[in-house]
Amino acid sequence: MRKLAQNRLQDNLRQSLKYLMLVFNDFFILALIFLFGALMYWYAQSMKTMPQGRWFYRPLVAVLLWLPLLTGNLVTLLQEADLQFLLPQDEQMGQYLTPLIKYSMVLPTLLIALLAGILFPFATLKAGLAPANYLLFVVAIWLAKFLQLKITQQNLYFGRKISLVLVNLVLLVVLSLAIMQPVLIWILLVLLVVGIIAMHCILKRKTLFDWRYAVAQEEKRKNQVYTAFSMFTDVKEKQVTIKRRKYLDFLLPRSLAKENPNRFLYRRSLLRNPENLNLLVRMTAFAVLISWLVQNWAWALGLSCLVIFLTAYQLLPMADEFDDNIMYRVAPITRKNRGRDLIVALSVPMLLQWLIISVSWLLLLPLNLQLWEAIGLLICFSILVVQLYLPYKIKKRKI
């Protein structure tokens, strides 16, 4: 089992590195360096002017150092097929999970170390903590993360499951209190060690592994990671879960009289497939955000046009979404004019996108005649994209 865990860890590391390389590409690194530099500069400047020894400084340090506890869930790397093939291995699961817990500690440890380093001047100079006590507190944070992972591990077995939200809240309160007095930090350390030993004993007595829960949890964790990656790059392992979203049904035509199979499918895919709807929502929100940031009708118009264009462009792959479905191939559905059907299905959401951006402009930007003109130009652009650009692309891609 230990060997299996190690093999899986290697595969997982290789896959994560692949995506990390894609996410942290040259431009992103450059942007991060600038951002980090700006933040550090601001930090250094404000350290000079900041008054000393306010009462909330220490709890603030505790809260900031508590944040890394929210990252790095327990990585179990369990797969759905394990329900079948590892089912008789309940008693060996402790062995299997040991290297995985170590692995799960890596990211939080790095984050805690980084954050602790950044906060060190503030904690010692402004909040008045002795360096030794601060170090002890950081160790306590690290132990708290370990305890939290141990609790997650015990949740994987049948028996009472301990809510992680509750654990994190309790830790937040306890940490914020303990930082006030050195004695309390010591007590906290002892308590955490006792907690870890107690968890260890509890885990020794646990035998019946909750396979279904464990596999579902890992699936959830993986999807969170993939969602994070997919904001920057395509993640082929990401599983799409369709949501019913009944409240959006009003956007569908009531009668079937003017519908055809392709239009029928595209409209529903747009509303219920999170890939498509999230894209639409994300892009629209992005347009609103940058419009608000630039505070100028011309810039807002140009950037929003770009966003509208990118939205339509990225929604184009919807066209062959159903080609893998045998029932789609077997049914008498012609694929000849489906490019046209896609355009019909897309025109309503694109119009909606224009409407939302325009309303946000009226609320967020300085009102003047040019703004109204910009709104008019934006709808013209949107229509051009849908009626000219999309047909051109569809013809080229032979959809």
Partner 1 sequence: MLSYKMSKFIKRKTGNMVLKIEHLTGGYTGVPVIKDINLEIKPGEALGLIGLNGAGKSTTIKHLLGLLRPQKGTIVLNDVELTKQPTKFKQQVAYIPETPVLYPELTLAEHLELTMLAYQLDEQTAWSRAKELLKLFRLDDKLDWLPVHFSKGMKQKVMIVTAFLADTSLLVIDEPFTGLDPLAVANLIDLIKKAIANDKMVLMTTHVLADAEQAISNYAVLNNGTIEVIGSLDEIRAHYGLKSSDAFDKLYQVLNQEQQHA
| Contact set with partner 1 (CB under 8 A) | 240, 242, 244, 246, 256, 259-261, 264-265, 268-269, 272-273, 322, 325-334
**Least gap, CB of 91 to partner 1 (angstroms):** 32
Dihedral sign, Cα of residue 243, residue 244, residue 246, residue 249: positive
Burial 44-83 (b: 16+ CB within 10 A, else e): eeeeeeeeeeeeebbbbbbeebbebbeebbbbbbbeeebe
245: left (phi over 0), alpha (psi -120 to 50) or beta: left
Q: What DSSP string runs through 246-307? A: GGGGGGS-S-STT--HHHHHHHHHHHH-HHHHHHHHHHHHHHHHHHHHH--HHHHHHHHHHH
Min. distance of Cβ 216 from partner 1 in angstroms? 15
The sign of the torsion formed by the CA atoms of 19, 145, 64, 282 equals: positive
Nearer to partner 1, 270 or 374 (CB): 270
Pick between residue 240 and residue 359 the one whose CB is nearest to partner 1.
240
- Residue 142: count other Cβ atoms within 10 Å of its Cβ: 20
**Cβ atoms within 10 Å of 127's Cβ, excluding its own:** 21
Q: Pick between residue 179 and residue 315 the one whose CB is nearest to partner 1.
A: 315
Distance of closest approach, residue 263 Cβ to partner 1, in angstroms = 9
Instruction: Please say which residue, 51 or 332, places its beta carbon nearer to partner 1.
Output: 332
Q: Measured from the CB atom, is 49 or 255 closer to partner 1?
A: 255
Nearer to partner 1, 3 or 254 (CB): 254
Minimum separation from the CB atom of position 212 to partner 1 (A): 16
Minimum gap (Å) between residue 269 Cβ and partner 1: 5
Closest approach, Cβ 396 to partner 1, in A, equals 25
Q: Distance of CA 81 to CAs 77, 86, 216, Å?
A: 11, 8, 12
Q: Which residues touch 116 (CB under 8 Å, ≥6 apart)?
A: 65, 134, 138, 141
Q: In degrees, to the nearest 5, what angle opens at C-alpha 347 toward C-alphas 298 and 289?
A: 35
| Nearest distance in Å: CB 317, partner 1 | 15
Using the minimum distance from each CB to partner 1, give the nearer residue, 154 or 260.
Answer: 260
Q: How many residues does the chain have?
A: 399
Asked whether the beta carbons of 306 and 294 are under 8 A apart, the reply is no
Closer to partner 1 by CB, 146 or 322: give it: 322
> Closer CB to partner 1, residue 88 or residue 332?
332
Do residues 206 and 157 touch, judged by C-beta distance below 8 A?
yes
Q: In terms of Cα–Cα distance, which of 188, 147, 180 is closest to 58?
A: 180
CB of 248 to partner 1, least distance (A): 12
Give me the least distance between CB of 251 and partner 1, in Å please: 14
> Coil, helix or strand for 365?
coil
* Tokens standing for residue 206: 């646990």
